[in-house]
Amino acid sequence: MPTHCTPLFTIRPEAVDQPDILTLLEKLDAYQSTLYPPECCHFTDLRTLAADELIFLVIRHRDGHAVGCGAIVLRQPGEGEMKRIYVEPTYRGSGAADQLLRQLEKQASLAGCQVIRLETGIHQPQAIRLYQRHGYHLRGPFFPYGDDPLSVYMEKKLGT
């Protein structure tokens, strides 16, 4: 996949197991652990997925440091689940998350996804608004999730 560049950021696929990326994911886990009880935290270890099951992008500042990351886990043919979306707090509001979502959707579409689903939490209104801005709408739980009053389930059909 070609690298996507903007004046401030570069977005490209990278390995999950890099130290700076693992640090970002640890920060995401720590943040979510302050919002939800352990049974409601769905921490997917992306390192356990095969390369053909995963689209993983990293957004780096022009100085080279990682400021965010996100993944699409390729489920059934034509379907993907957005996971592990994180942007450092100092870069929220900079457009980094919007750029990351657009690139994830583009790569998911190229991989044959027609729909992307996601699970987020009720205590993350900024994330919910971000997804709504990008055309995601509310839906019920989907596999592997069950009914959870702390979860919000959303989806978007690509190409619409």
The structural domains of the chain, with segments of one domain joined by +, span 4-157
Question: Can you give the pTM of this predicted structure?
Answer: 0.90
Say which range, 110-114, 134-138, 142-146, has the weakest mean pLDDT: 142-146
For the domain made up of 4-157, give the CATH fold.
Answer: Aminopeptidase (3.40.630)
Residue 41, pLDDT > 80, answer no
Name the residue among 100, 102, 89 with its Cα closest to residue 60: 100
Neighbours of 110 (CB within 10 A): 10
Q: What number is the average pLDDT over the span 113-135?
A: 95
Phi and psi angles of residue 48, each rounded to the nearest 5 degrees, phi first: -85, -5
Question: How far is it, in rounded angstroms, from Cα 40 to Cα 61?
Answer: 32
